[in-house]
């Protein structure tokens, strides 16, 4: 049977504020900080301490909510979500429940099938938990608690189950990530857990309008894990329904090693979190003027940027997507195009998606970190256009620029990489090569035309790779043609 | 000077300034009195004599310097001893909340109210007994000891600030800090014959007050008179960036005038507070006090607070619900009692099982139930709606009157053990004090007589939000004409 999947995502994004959600502790890099370095009586949950709302987190939350075109609640309510776990110091998490910061938004995404508007159910503020490490050493099992992360502001963004394919899920997640990065509210660093996903998945027979029973998959910490887990569940549910069985409502985990989901809790075991309004915090009021100010100052958002790049530069949706994932990338591209004047945008784009992306992938540098600013890249491309260097030389120059930060001009000067464009010199080199390889020339003249490329390579090698390839080709063709004529003439004389 | 322990706090501050007594001598006098009386009264959970004498010596130095140049700023309470209910954190001093679960908890910070008083120059003698996590009306729910009523050692001092009330009543301290969630300052004040102020919710910061019912908790004062209470309260009140519920309302100077009349004051007398079952002598003493105030020129108005009868059930849903979450942090992981177990869940279960007493467990269960899926709307949700009606009762009443006068408790101090088998009877002790907490309005209890057994009787005045001044002034004027507040138990 054919099924349609309905998938909703819950995204937890750490907000890149200076301090935690409810205390003055700094938000620290988990890779660099000592355990329990950034803690205080408030985020340790010591008795008598009280939370105070971080206004920067509210501002960041509003930025995201407005970028998602949500309706902002003039007053929202913090609530306590009660459960025991050693990584939760107070025994409750301060979150928002019945009256969240914002509701009813839209995130447009573009897939190969076209543009779709994914509905956002709600956006709310909460605090992160600490981290447990389970240790088994010398036959003894114990757990270590690190509360550096406890109290870090989180924004939870919940979509409606509007996604139908694994591809849409991926594009939605990537789009949301690039939105958060563009807004400057999240590091986008998935490996450090700056963005975490939970997916709810159900399937229904194609044509049916009733949603199926859904499962929730928790703790998906990478795009890959999310795609695999969702795909796995869709398959699993289809097999169940095909076999005439029912899908059980439950909460699942994802085993990344075995690539299977496993049951964490059945419906009966579901937690009762006993949410109630947080009495330590007054309702969170948001002034219309503040909302307006934030709205006015929103940057160009990734989706709008992507659509504009397609329109303005005639590039493909896929390429535009690649550039708009990070606003800085698109910025780099556009700066280059602006500097390049009459050079086609396509040439610039190929260099960015080629050499630059390869370098960034290899080194992990961001577009802001690379040592080749737009001016330098265009400087190199100008050398190519003016035939000072050929394309291959340019690529090796670029790789050196990325490493050393030198300009193309300097590298060309220092290494004497100027292209040979002296037509006499090139003619002489062609002549030498033809004279040195009479057998190959003869074979060519006998019709083995592919040898033209081989001969071209020989000339280029003789020129140390620095000759203008176009000129070599022209000269080679003309000298070979002459030889053909001469041969024909000689044959006629016989 | 005669026995310094009999002087009022206002007089002591003057004597310290004039150099008639040193802070060290005063502190020693109180420590000696505590040594003598504590075995009978059991009011303290922790005594800090070394710290107190250190603070006193520092105060004497500050006073000495100041006397050489009185133009310099002198912290207003320099050298004055106080005691602190063991529900308020004091940095470096064991803070137990009367619970085994915090037996060894030494907070690395002081409550804002405590810190403000330390900054004002007070000397801290020790931490007073309380019902465990302030859950009780007799201080019998302390995990450590039973505090006795100084007027009659077979009686309870009230609670939960029973240790503080007993300490002030027996002159083991001139002033004490208490906390009031449902009457925990006013009721023990009434039982012990002292003056007790529960300020407006949000007037004194809650930071460092170990939470019981967060939307009801307030830090209050127990004193020998309204004037003494005003002096301490002055230095505790005001906005705090560490407490989002502490409101940014200007704090007036609580300078009480020796006004000898009450003209212009409208006193509301709510019919719902004079119910059958109330001890006759209590009703009589309160009515006499109201009549006396009328005699001083106050206008007395019969009023109605129609939702008063719901205060008890509303309180016993909201406070335990909040407590069930507030007490979740005692999990044996980071501080407090830990009963070890290799299994994390078992560790938490065992630690809580061993650390909490029966009343705390009862209220955690009540609160957990009231918040549970399927019951929330019927219990917690409904209680919040009725709480709004109770608030509105007060708002309407204060359109007509300036203060509301009522008994503090239905009876005078009951016998130790009297309510052991019946928690509900104990809950009924708070029936007149709960509404002020639910409405967030200030309340002031002060002595207005004694019953046939020589036990003190208290009356309370409740006021508008942030209008503690009117309550304190009214009680002060009353105390200019009466001597109930100056009477002391004999030992
Ligand atoms: Zn902190």
Contacts of A84 in chain B (CB under 8 A): 328, 331, 345, 348
Q: Looking at the predicted complex, does its ipTM rise above 0.90?
A: yes
Selecting from B105, B244, B342 the residue whose C-beta is nearest the C-beta of A52 gives: B244
User: Which of A3-17, A203-217, B248-262 is the most confident on average?
Assistant: A3-17
Q: Find which of A19, A43, A46, A47 to mutate to test the B interface (most B CBs within 10 Å of its CB).
A: A47
A47/B210 Cβ within 8 A: yes
| pLDDT for A491 | 60
A438-445 vs A469-493: helix axis angle to the nearest 10? 70
User: Is 60 exceeded by the pLDDT of residue A240?
Assistant: yes
- CB contact residues (below 8 A), chain B span 39-98, against chain A: 88-89, 95, 97
Query: A412 vs B473, which has greater pLDDT?
Result: B473
Q: Which residues of A touch B (CB under 8 A)?
A: 41, 44-53, 80, 82, 84, 86, 89-92, 141, 143, 145, 272, 274-276, 279-282
Catalytic residue among B160, B161, B324, B351: B160
Where residue A489 falls among pLDDT bands split at 50, 70, 90?
low
Q: Average pLDDT in the A98-108 region?
A: 97
Closest residue in A to B322 (Cα–Cα)? A279
Q: Average pLDDT in the B282-305 region?
A: 97
**A·B CB contacts under 8 A:** 108
Query: A208 vs B1, which has greater pLDDT?
Result: A208
Selecting from B107, B241, B322 the residue whose C-beta is nearest the C-beta of A46 gives: B107
Distance from the alpha carbon of residue A145 to the mean position of ligand 1, in angstroms:
15
User: Is 60 exceeded by the pLDDT of residue B10?
Assistant: yes
Catalytic residue among B8, B23, B85, B127: B85
Where residue A490 falls among pLDDT bands split at 50, 70, 90?
low
Distance from the alpha carbon of residue A24 to the mean position of ligand 1, in angstroms:
6
CA dist B402 and B469 (Å) reads 11
B88/A279 Cβ within 8 A: no
User: Is 90 exceeded by the pLDDT of residue A109?
Assistant: yes
Distance from the alpha carbon of residue B205 to the mean position of ligand 1, in angstroms:
19
C-alpha torsion B111→B116→B121→B124, nearest 10: -20
B328/A91 Cβ within 8 A: yes
Q: Which class for B58: exposed (0-12), middle (13-18), buried (19 or more C-beta within 10 A)?
A: middle
> In terms of Cα–Cα distance, which of B323, B324, B439 is closest to B386?
B439
Answer yes or no: B40 catalytic: no
CA dist B24 and B57 (Å) reads 6
Q: Give the tokens for residue B326.
A: 């507030």
The pairing of strands B456-463 and B443-450 is antiparallel
> In terms of Cα–Cα distance, which of B315, B308, B284 is closest to B411?
B284
CA dist A315 and A305 (Å) reads 12
| pLDDT for A432 | 87
Q: Average pLDDT in the B66-74 region?
A: 93
CA dist A131 and A43 (Å) reads 13
User: Is 60 exceeded by the pLDDT of residue A492?
Assistant: no
Where residue B2 falls among pLDDT bands split at 50, 70, 90?
low
Distance from the alpha carbon of residue A42 to the mean position of ligand 1, in angstroms:
5
| pLDDT for A382 | 86
Contacts of B321 in chain A (CB under 8 A): 276
Q: Average pLDDT in the B52-67 region?
A: 97
**Tens of pLDDT, residues B360-413:** 999 999 999 999 988 999 999 999 999 999 999 999 999 999 999 999 999 999
**Tens of pLDDT, residues A308-338:** 999 998 888 888 888 887 778 888 999 999 8
Q: Average pLDDT in the B187-209 region?
A: 98
**Tens of pLDDT, residues A351-389:** 998 899 999 988 988 888 898 999 989 988 888 887 778
Domains and CATH numbers, chain B: 4-264+443-486 (3.90.1300.10)
**Tens of pLDDT, residues B156-174:** 999 999 999 999 999 999 9
B352: left (phi over 0), alpha (psi -120 to 50) or beta: alpha
| pLDDT for A15 | 97
A145/B328 Cβ within 8 A: no
CA atoms within 13 A on the CB side of B280: 1
A50/B380 Cβ within 8 A: no
Contact A166, A109 (CB under 8 A): no
Contacts with B88 (C-beta within 8 Å, 6 or more apart), sequence order: A48, B95, B111, B113, B114, B177, B179, B208, B209, B210, B219
Domains and CATH numbers, chain A: 3-294 (no CATH), 300-415 (no CATH), 423-493 (1.10.10)
A84/B331 Cβ within 8 A: yes
Q: Average pLDDT in the A202-211 region?
A: 91
CA dist A353 and A357 (Å) reads 5
Answer yes or no: B160 catalytic: yes
SS3 helix, strand, coil % of chain A, rounded to 5? 40, 20, 35
CA dist B463 and A356 (Å) reads 72
Helices (H) and strands (E) in chain B, counts: 15, 11
Where residue A493 falls among pLDDT bands split at 50, 70, 90?
low
Contact A261, A253 (CB under 8 A): yes
B329/A86 Cβ within 8 A: no
pTM greater than the 0.80 cutoff: yes
Is B491 touching A (CB cutoff 8 A)? no
Mean pLDDT of chain A: 90
User: Is 80 exceeded by the pLDDT of residue B455?
Assistant: yes
A47/B325 Cβ within 8 A: no
Mean pLDDT of chain B: 96
A276/B380 Cβ within 8 A: yes
- pLDDT > 70 fraction of chain B, expressed in percent and rounded: 100
Answer yes or no: B184 catalytic: yes
| pLDDT for A77 | 97
User: Is 70 exceeded by the pLDDT of residue B1?
Assistant: no
Contacts of A281 in chain B (CB under 8 A): 244-245
């Amino acid at each position: 049977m054919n099924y349609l999947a309905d998938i909703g995502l819950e995204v937890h994004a750490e907000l890149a504020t200076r301090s935690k959600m409810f205390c003055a502790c700094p938000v620290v890099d988990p890779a660099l900080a000592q355990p329990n370095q950034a803690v205080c009586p408030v985020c340790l949950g010591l008795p008598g301490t009280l939370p105070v709302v971080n206004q920067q987190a509210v501002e960041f939350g509003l930025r995201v909510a407005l970028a998602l075109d949500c309706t902002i609640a003039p007053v929202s309510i913090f609530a306590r979500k009660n459960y025991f776990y050693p990584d939760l110091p107070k025994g409750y998490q301060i979150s928002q429940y019945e009256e969240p910061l914002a509701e009813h938004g839209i995130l447009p995404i573009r897939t190969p099938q076209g543009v779709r508007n994914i509905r956002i159910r709600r956006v709310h503020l909460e605090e992160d938990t600490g981290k447990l490490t389970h240790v088994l050493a010398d036959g003894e099992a114990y757990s270590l608690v690190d509360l550096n992360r406890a109290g870090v502001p989180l924004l939870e963004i919940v979509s409606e189950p509007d996604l139908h394919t694994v591809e849409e899920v991926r594009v939605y997640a990537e789009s949301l990530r690039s939105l958060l990065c563009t807004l400057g509210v999240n590091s986008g660093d998935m490996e450090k857990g700056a963005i975490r996903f939970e997916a709810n998945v159900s399937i229904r027979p194609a044509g049916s309008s009733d949603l199926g029973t859904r499962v929730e998959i928790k703790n998906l910490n990478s795009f890959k894990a999310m795609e695999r887990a969702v795909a796995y569940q869709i398959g699993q549910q289809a097999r169940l329904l095909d076999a005439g069985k029912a899908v059980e409502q439950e909460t699942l985990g994802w085993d990344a090693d075995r690539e299977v989901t496993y049951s964490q809790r059945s419906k009966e075991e579901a937690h009762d979190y006993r949410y109630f309004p947080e009495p330590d915090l007054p309702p969170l009021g948001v002034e219309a003027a503040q909302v307006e100010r934030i709205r006015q100052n929103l940057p160009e958002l990734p989706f709008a940027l992507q659509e504009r790049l397609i329109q303005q530069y005639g590039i493909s949706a896929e390429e535009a997507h690649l550039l708009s994932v990070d606003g800085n990338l698109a910025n780099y591209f556009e700066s280059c195009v602006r500097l390049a004047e009459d050079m086609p945008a396509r040439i610039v784009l190929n260099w960015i998606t080629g050499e630059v992306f390869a370098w960034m992938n290899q080194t992990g540098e961001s577009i802001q970190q690379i040592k080749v600013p737009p001016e330098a890249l265009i400087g190199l491309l100008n050398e190519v256009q003016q035939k000072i260097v050929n394309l291959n030389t340019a690529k090796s120059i670029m790789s050196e620029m990325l490493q050393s930060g030198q300009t193309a001009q300097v590298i060309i000067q220092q290494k004497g990489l100027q292209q040979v464009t002296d037509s006499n010199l090139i003619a002489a080199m062609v002549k030498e090569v033809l004279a040195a390889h009479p057998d190959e020339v003869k074979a060519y003249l006998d019709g083995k035309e592919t040898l033209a490329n081989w001969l071209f390579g020989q000339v280029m090698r003789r020129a140390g790779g620095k000759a203008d390839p176009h000129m070599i080709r022209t000269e080679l063709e003309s000298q070979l043609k002459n030889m053909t004529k001469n041969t024909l003439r000689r044959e006629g004389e016989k | 000077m005669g026995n310094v322990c009999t002087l009022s706090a206002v007089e002591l501050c003057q004597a310290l300034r004039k150099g008639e007594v040193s802070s060290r001598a005063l502190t020693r006098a109180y420590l000696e009195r505590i040594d003598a009386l504590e075995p009978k009264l059991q009011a303290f959970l922790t005594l800090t004599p070394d710290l107190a004498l250190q603070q006193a010596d520092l105060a004497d130095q500050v006073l000495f310097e100041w006397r050489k140049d009185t133009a310099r700023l002198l912290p207003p309470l320099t050298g004055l001893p106080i005691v602190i209910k063991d529900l308020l954190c004091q940095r470096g001093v064991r803070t137990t909340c009367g619970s085994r679960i915090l037996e060894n908890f030494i907070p690395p910070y002081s409550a804002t109210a405590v810190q403000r008083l330390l900054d004002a120059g007070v000397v801290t003698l020790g931490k007073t007994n309380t019902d465990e996590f302030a859950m009780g009306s007799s201080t019998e729910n302390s995990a450590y000891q039973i505090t006795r009523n100084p007027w009659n050692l077979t009686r309870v001092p009230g609670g939960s600030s029973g240790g503080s009330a007993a300490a002030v009543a027996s002159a083991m301290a001139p002033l004490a800090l208490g906390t009031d969630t449902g009457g925990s300052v006013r009721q023990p004040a009434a039982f012990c014959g002292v003056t007790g102020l529960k300020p407006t919710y949000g007037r004194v910061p809650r930071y460092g007050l170990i939470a019981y019912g967060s939307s009801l908790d307030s830090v209050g004062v127990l004193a020998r008179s309204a004037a003494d209470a005003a002096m301490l309260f002055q230095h505790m009140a005001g906005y705090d960036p560490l407490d989002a519920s502490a409101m940014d309302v200007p704090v007036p100077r609580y300078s009480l005038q020796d006004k000898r009349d009450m003209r212009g004051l409208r006193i509301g007398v709510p019919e719902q507070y004079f119910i059958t079952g109330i001890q006759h002598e209590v009703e009589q003493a309160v009515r006499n006090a109201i009549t006396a105030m009328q005699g001083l020129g106050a206008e007395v108005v019969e009023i109605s607070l129609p939702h008063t009868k719901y205060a008890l059930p509303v309180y016993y849903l909201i406070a335990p619900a909040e407590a069930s979450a507030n007490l979740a942090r005692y999990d044996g992981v980071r501080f407090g009692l830990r009963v070890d177990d290799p299994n994390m869940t078992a560790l938490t279960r065992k630690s809580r099982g061993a650390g909490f007493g029966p009343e705390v467990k009862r209220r955690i269960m009540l609160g957990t139930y009231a918040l549970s899926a399927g019951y929330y709307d019927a219990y917690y949700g409904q209680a919040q709606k009725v709480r709004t009606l109770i608030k509105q009762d007060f708002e309407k009443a204060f359109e007509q009157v300036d203060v509301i006068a009522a008994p503090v408790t239905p009876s005078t101090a009951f016998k130790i053990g009297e309510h052991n088998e019946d928690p509900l009877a104990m809950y009924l002790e708070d029936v007149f004090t709960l509404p002020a907490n639910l409405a967030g309005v200030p309340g002031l209890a002060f002595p207005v007589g004694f019953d046939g057994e020589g036990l003190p009787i208290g009356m309370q005045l409740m006021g508008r939000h942030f209008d503690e001044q009117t309550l304190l002034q009214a009680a002060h004027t009353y105390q200019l004409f009466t001597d109930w507040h100056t009477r002391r138990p004999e030992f």
